[in-house]
Chains A and B, each alone.
Chain A
Amino acid sequence: MTIGPKEFDFHAARVRLEGKAKSAGEKLTTLDDTVARVRDGDTVAIGGCLYSRTPLALMWALLRRRPRALTLARNLMSYEGEWAAVAGAADKLVTSWMGIGLPWGLSRIQREYVESGRIEFEEWSHLGLGLRFRAAAMGVPFLPSLTMLGSSLMDVGGSKTIECPYTGATLHAVPALFPDIALLHVHRADRFGNCQIDGYPHMDADIARAAATVLVTAEEIVSDDEIRRHPDRTVIPGFAVDALAHVPYGSYPHECYALYDSEPAHFTVYVDGIKQRGAAGVADYLERYVYAPRTHADYLALFAEGARRDAATRARMLTS
């Protein structure tokens, strides 16, 4: 059994939330200050999905602080999981799938670190992990579902079944996952932390409700009036957010719906580094892209000139 009681203890999670200041005040701060809230050993849930709206600026800032013993949870884990493994920041990965995509093949880092037992890998189905966040977002210890039943996935994560009290049917009682930290990147927010997302919602709204501490970066900080003009687009209420930073291109070179496309050629260069030098390829990448640049703007400046403008043009064409 790899899940721990802390993950589904809805009572403790509720008490922890009630004990926290749910201020409706200013949330805007610096990128570095947002991630100063992460403690070694924390369970960190990452928003977006694969190479879509990944909170890469938050991961960048977090890894620069050299955290240790984190558990990272994400529905489809992309190379941010590889970064954390090679940086020695994570002891455990919780996901339903790990890699970048079909053209890039299996994750060699996942293979190396899991096959050697250097990192714990806890796997769920995609919906299974989605329901873990949904249960926590609802403040309950589990949600009944028909998924994962009968599979070996039921045996390795600590799942239990229950008999339905009404019909007698066997149901998977998917355990809640209350993370310590949520890392999310959104399209726009006001300075009070009310967040709007365009395009795919992914699991971000559930993760924001599930986590004890919610850290957000936004492409754009807009006025209170702007949020109030379209309250139907607000998916995370300001009172759920602890700290917010303004980071344009905060997912780059992953995509942000309608704003910029991903950079598959960059992924290929990254993966080629791993093919040639294994984990050292990632370590070199981290040195160059994560540890060396002093600001996120310096990080963005490492990409080819004009690349972001082209990515923005492609995004407009794909969403209009």
Chain B
Amino acid sequence: MSSYTANELLAVMGARALRDGTTVFTGVGAPMMAAALAQRTHAPGLTMMMEGGIIGPTWKPGELPISTNEMRTAYRAQMLPGITDAFLLAQRGFMDVGFIGGAQIDQYGNLNTSAIGGSYDKPTVRLPGSGGANDIISLCREVMILTVHEKRRFTERVDFVTSPGYLGGGDGRRKSGLLFGGVSRMVTTLGVFDFEPTSRRMRLVALQPGASVEDVHANTGFEVLVSDALTTTAPPTEKELDILRMLDPAKQFIG
């Protein structure tokens, strides 16, 4: 078995979850690498949209974008509709999958990228904010989250819901007015999770290669459900890793 980094693992597992002929709204980092990998393996007909207002780019190897709205992001794009209109395409229902990166996460898939501790006006740690994450999680048909699995990230209750998963669980999301979508899958460095359909609590459905259920429990700040049909993911292949390393030779995003 070849060795790989945490970000390579996330990109490979994210890529495998994408289907050919669909649309994906993706941020930079591991989600972007996952979409680019899928495009070069099983999903050549995958159309990417980025929040900088870019549709259908085909990124140049070695020239990957650092932000969602720079020239590299738009390389060989099909359309540059502008930021507001890109999000409105998602609100209309054109985006099959939203793909976002890590944050502070709770058992219902709510994300906090705003403020930790203290009061909201004078927090202990001020984080950058939502950017497009709230919009992606609110408006896409389904959302997948890719994140490193660390205990400090997975907390029973987030201090602030920047981006809504299933809110308080059950039908909380629908009751809030969010009539569509939801977090369908969370891919971490330890496992793949879904959200149990009734309670909407995070549930382990597959372990990453070499990880154990105990690892997951030990690195999560709340009780994780475990599926009766627990499986193990197949490790990244040489071909998948070769493509990622060809795309990102400087290891900006996969290192």
Task: Tell me the A residues contacting B by CB distance below 8 Å.
Answer: 49-52, 75-76, 95-99, 101-103, 106-107, 110-111, 114-117, 121, 123-128, 130-131, 133-134, 145-153, 156, 161, 169-172, 199-203, 205-206, 255, 257-258, 261-262, 264, 315, 318-319
| Chain B, Cβ-Cβ closest to A149 | B177
**Interface window among B116-124, B146-154, B213-221:** B116-124
Establish whether residues A115 and B164, one from each chain, have CB atoms under 8 Å apart when the complex forms: no
Residues of A within 8 A of B54 (CB): 200
Establish whether residues B84 and A134, one from each chain, have CB atoms under 8 Å apart when the complex forms: yes
B74 interface neighbour in A114, A124, A153, A200, Cβ under 8 Å: A200
Establish whether residues A76 and B71, one from each chain, have CB atoms under 8 Å apart when the complex forms: no
A146 touching B83 in the complex, CB below 8 Å, given contacts A115-B122, A117-B121, A125-B132: no
Please report the C-alpha to C-alpha distance between residue A146 and residue B180 in the assembled complex, in whole angstroms. Answer: 9
Please report the C-alpha to C-alpha distance between residue A149 and residue B66 in the assembled complex, in whole angstroms. Answer: 29
Residues of B within 8 A of A315 (CB): 71
Residues of B within 8 A of A133 (CB): 84
Establish whether residues A148 and B138, one from each chain, have CB atoms under 8 Å apart when the complex forms: yes
B29: Cβ under 8 A from any A Cβ: yes
Please report the C-alpha to C-alpha distance between residue A161 and residue B122 in the assembled complex, in whole angstroms. Answer: 26
A150 touching B53 in the complex, CB below 8 Å, given contacts A101-B67, A106-B127, A125-B130: no
B128 interface neighbour in A106, A127, A319, Cβ under 8 Å: A106
Residues of A within 8 A of B170 (CB): none
**Shortest CB–CB separation between residue B178 and chain A, in angstroms?**
5
Establish whether residues A199 and B80, one from each chain, have CB atoms under 8 Å apart when the complex forms: yes
Establish whether residues B91 and A52, one from each chain, have CB atoms under 8 Å apart when the complex forms: no
Residues of A within 8 A of B123 (CB): 114-115
B134: Cβ under 8 A from any A Cβ: yes
Establish whether residues B87 and A127, one from each chain, have CB atoms under 8 Å apart when the complex forms: yes
Please report the C-alpha to C-alpha distance between residue A41 and residue B133 in the assembled complex, in whole angstroms. Answer: 31
A156 interface neighbour in B87, B120, B134, Cβ under 8 Å: B120
Establish whether residues A318 and B75, one from each chain, have CB atoms under 8 Å apart when the complex forms: yes
Q: List 7 A-B contacts (CB under 8 A).
A: A96-B130, A97-B131, A126-B87, A127-B88, A130-B84, A262-B70, A264-B66
Establish whether residues B129 and A96, one from each chain, have CB atoms under 8 Å apart when the complex forms: yes
Establish whether residues A76 and B162, one from each chain, have CB atoms under 8 Å apart when the complex forms: no
B160: Cβ under 8 A from any A Cβ: yes
A123 touching B114 in the complex, CB below 8 Å, given contacts A50-B69, A128-B134, A203-B82: yes
Using a CB-CB cutoff of 8 Å, which residues 147-191 of chain B contact chain A? 160-164, 167, 172-173, 176-180
A199 touching B128 in the complex, CB below 8 Å, given contacts A102-B29, A170-B177: no
Please report the C-alpha to C-alpha distance between residue A107 and residue B113 in the assembled complex, in whole angstroms. Answer: 13
Residues of B within 8 A of A116 (CB): 122
Residues of B within 8 A of A319 (CB): 71, 74
Please report the C-alpha to C-alpha distance between residue A98 and residue B67 in the assembled complex, in whole angstroms. Answer: 12
Closest 4 CB pairs of A and B: A150-B176, A170-B177, A130-B84, A97-B131
Establish whether residues A52 and B122, one from each chain, have CB atoms under 8 Å apart when the complex forms: no
Residues of A within 8 A of B162 (CB): 151-153
Please report the C-alpha to C-alpha distance between residue A121 and residue B172 in the assembled complex, in whole angstroms. Answer: 28
A102 interface neighbour in B28, B114, B173, Cβ under 8 Å: B28
| Chain B, Cβ-Cβ closest to A130 | B84
B126: Cβ under 8 A from any A Cβ: yes
**Shortest CB–CB separation between residue A303 and chain B, in angstroms?**
19
| Chain B, Cβ-Cβ closest to A121 | B126
Residues of A within 8 A of B118 (CB): 115
**Shortest CB–CB separation between residue B107 and chain A, in angstroms?**
16
Establish whether residues A255 and B70, one from each chain, have CB atoms under 8 Å apart when the complex forms: yes
Establish whether residues B80 and A130, one from each chain, have CB atoms under 8 Å apart when the complex forms: no
